[in-house]
Structure 1
Amino acid sequence: MGVSISSPTDAQKPRSFWPQRNRIVIMVLFGFVILFFLLDITLGSVRIPLKEVARIVFEGESENRAWLYIVQKIRLPKAITAILVGCGLSVSGLQMQTLFRNPLSGPAELGITAGAGLGVAVVMLGGGGSASLYAIRELGVSGSWLLVLMASLGAALVLLLVLLIAGRLRDNVVLLIVGVMVGTITVSLISIWQYFSQPEQLQEYLLWTFGSLGGVVQSHLYVLSGVVIVGLLLAFVSSKALNALLLGENYARSMGLTVGRSRLIILLSTSLLTGSITAFCGPIGFVGIAVPHITRSLLGTSDHRILIPTTCLVGTILLLVCDSIAQLPGTGAVLPINIVTSLLGAPVVIWIIVSRNNLRSSFS
């Protein structure tokens, strides 16, 4: 790839950080977001003309009451969820790649998603039959906040553990392996819990692990939206700190950056984003690792003031496309979203490894 995330060349230049080329890319991406947003709402087991979909979305009216209900109550919340998931996981991956200076870092790869899953398991598998995901969601906003809180705490604990280990390691490849091992330990703890759980709880938790964008009902979408927006705002606030951290902690300190506070903000942002999304949608892999690299290739920059908003757009497009594919147009079946993101994201990871013949020297 043309841009290494270890050298923020144009981030240090006094000229405008929004060159004409990047503005054109942003405009094109916005167009694709609108296109795939409408396409995602149009596709489904019930065929609704695109013209009617646009009318319902922008005017809130339709002569067909069934179409109005399907779009407003089912498809529109799912498409909005795809936007939130695409933004949140992509920005989380971008922050992890910068913080650890490793191109293969991401919420799933470092075990952060597994930590969020452990928090959900504590709620779903640790409270008896009354703690099923359906029962929790029936509690309304309080149940939603419980899921988000536990998932975010689980993600934060794993991320904090990886950060502590990172302080003792200088090899990014070894650190990645440690992150995978921490995730494996977390998954093992969940498996032990599953072994002693009730069959009905186990079935519901296994279904949750496949990942789904359609499980977020409209009343709980406000909770997910609020948490993701806070997490994204924290990421935007950290953009200058992330630029400084690209050249290492010593350089960041020489620029007057308080590294400990910056790490804490990044940790909080990533935990909120990964925890809330995992709580409601299940573990969704490869988005956090793939999208930042696609964005850097499109823009040719490592300036996070540009990368963060553009990463949100690219992540949104990817999730909308994946959700459209998952619906298997022409059939009534719907694939788990995690399967589709893995099929599209895994080739990008292979491309990263092949294009960087020596990962160790790229980030030393």
Structure 2
Amino acid sequence: MPGASRRRPHPARVLLLLAAVLALGAVAFLTVGATGSWAFVLPFRATKLASLAVVGTAVAVATVLFQTVTANRILTPSLLGMDAMFALVQTVLVFVLGGAALAALDATTMFVGQVAVMVVCSVALFGWLFGGRRRSLHLLLLVGVVLGTLLRAASSMLQRVMDPNEFAVLTNRLFASFNTIDDTLLGVTAALVAAGCAVAWRRRRALDVLALGREAATGLGVPYRRTVLEVLVVVAVLVSASTALVGPVTFLGLLVANVAYVVLGTHEHRWLLPGAALVSVLFLVAGQVVLEHALGFATSLGVVIELVGGLVFLVLLLRGAAR
């Protein structure tokens, strides 16, 4: 309706409001309940806050990009099986080396190795199923779902024969955690995320056209296959880096991307990309504050996000079925 369109605030105002609320949340995160020396508290919390910002931005941007190329707002990059691949890598390492030996390994080497494995495997899958003669995005998604199932089955089989003590170590590594973040790894992740976001921002106008569909994008002069492959590689880098840093956060992207679509009221990526990132970081910061000061670390932030995101996913599915 024209009247409803006039009443909707401009996306720039929404972004400013989200930024202001996020700034207040960041201040609360840094200061609420702080005891002891500020020289220790502020750097410690600032590192955790930076990790929330980096991971939230990576997951949000990756999900928006993935939903654009698939033309579906209930899909997430987890369909490509990268979280299952992360779980399998962790399971194999704990099964072969043991928790104590794994903890003694160099953290940077572990991080780079995990990111490299996930990115290389994802890019090989993209090139095989979408870059060759097949060129089928639907086949790519289907194979990603099947591979994810197979990887989870392999992880489950190893976990069943694993020593209970080693399984307890593995369980802690499979859930997203923002409590112990290595500064060096955070810097490497931030650089990868910044590079991926820069590529996405540079292609924002092509993404707007890509959202119209393959035929429309091709007719308007966008090289569809090359652009989709480029976007999928960016998605793989963003998801792999964030997952290797803190662990898998499957439904966070689904949650924040759809909230961004609703509050911004636009499909232009110049607004969606920063808007989704702001919403994602705001959710993580607010959730961490509640987790620490209201729930007393009774659970993990990743578990809360999975629960809320799963409920949102079901609601979106039911709404789509009702229509």
**TM-score, normalised relative to structure 2:** 0.84
Secondary structure in structure 1 of the residue aligned to 2:177:
coil
Match of 2:312 in 1: 348
Give the deviation of 1:344 after TM superposition.
2.5
Match of 2:70 in 1: 100
Larger fraction in helix: 2
Give the deviation of 1:126 after TM superposition.
4.9
Does residue 145 of the first structure (1) align with residue 145 of the second (2)? no
Q: What is the identity percentage for the equivalent residue pairs of Structure 1 and Structure 2?
A: 23
Counterparts of 2:81 and 2:241, CA distance in 1: 15
**8 Å Cα contact 2:52/2:285 also seen in 1:** yes
Q: 1:258 to 1:330 in 2, by over 3 A?
A: closer
Match of 1:259 in 2: 224
Match of 2:26 in 1: 37
Counterparts of 1:124 and 1:155, CA distance in 2: 23
Match among 48, 59, 76 for residue 89 of structure 1: 59
Match of 1:71 in 2: 42
Match among 237, 242, 248 for residue 277 of structure 1: 242
Counterparts of 2:93 and 2:228, CA distance in 1: 28
1:201-245 superposed Cα distances (whole Å, 9 cap, x missing partner): 433222111210123122321111111112222222232232222
Secondary structure in structure 2 of the residue aligned to 1:284:
coil
Structure 1 gaps of 5+ residues are 3-9, 11-18, 50-63, 360-364
Counterparts of 2:26 and 2:52, CA distance in 1: 9
Does residue 205 of the first structure (1) align with residue 170 of the second (2)? yes
Match of 2:34 in 1: 48
Give the deviation of 1:161 after TM superposition.
7.2
Give the deviation of 1:358 after TM superposition.
5.8
Q: 1:243 to 1:124 in 2, by over 3 A?
A: farther
Greater displacement, 142-151 / 215-224: 142-151
**8 Å Cα contact 1:114/1:155 also seen in 2:** no
Does residue 326 of the first structure (1) align with residue 295 of the second (2)? no
Task: Show the 5 A alignment for 1:224-239.
Answer: 224-239=189-204
Task: Show the 5 A alignment for 1:105-116.
Answer: 105-116=75-86
Give the deviation of 1:271 after TM superposition.
0.9
Q: 1:161 to 1:82 in 2, by over 3 A?
A: farther
Q: 1:237 to 1:102 in 2, by over 3 A?
A: same
- The amino acid of 1:289's aligned partner reads L
- The amino acid of 1:246's aligned partner reads A
Counterparts of 1:313 and 1:158, CA distance in 2: 31
Greater displacement, 221-230 / 184-193: 184-193
Greater displacement, 296-305 / 117-126: 117-126
Match of 1:21 in 2: 10
**TM-score, normalised relative to structure 1:** 0.76
**8 Å Cα contact 1:236/1:305 also seen in 2:** yes
- CA RMSD of superposed structures (Å): 3.1
**8 Å Cα contact 2:122/2:236 also seen in 1:** yes
Give the deviation of 1:40 after TM superposition.
2.3
Greater displacement, 317-326 / 292-301: 317-326
Q: 1:117 to 1:155 in 2, by over 3 A?
A: farther
Q: 1:197 to 1:154 in 2, by over 3 A?
A: farther
- The amino acid of 2:270's aligned partner reads R
Q: 1:200 to 1:147 in 2, by over 3 A?
A: farther
Give the deviation of 1:26 after TM superposition.
0.9
Counterparts of 1:160 and 1:215, CA distance in 2: 36
Secondary structure in structure 2 of the residue aligned to 1:247:
coil
Q: 1:152 to 1:25 in 2, by over 3 A?
A: same
**8 Å Cα contact 2:257/2:276 also seen in 1:** yes
Counterparts of 2:244 and 2:163, CA distance in 1: 20
Counterparts of 2:230 and 2:168, CA distance in 1: 36
Secondary structure in structure 1 of the residue aligned to 2:10:
helix
**8 Å Cα contact 1:224/1:276 also seen in 2:** yes
Greater displacement, 142-151 / 183-192: 142-151
Count of matched residue positions in the alignment of Structure 1 and Structure 2: 316
Match of 1:80 in 2: 50
Task: Show the 5 A alignment for 1:162-201.
Answer: 167=136, 169=138, 179-195=144-160, 201=166
Give the deviation of 1:159 after TM superposition.
6.0
Give the deviation of 1:87 after TM superposition.
0.9
**8 Å Cα contact 1:106/1:289 also seen in 2:** yes
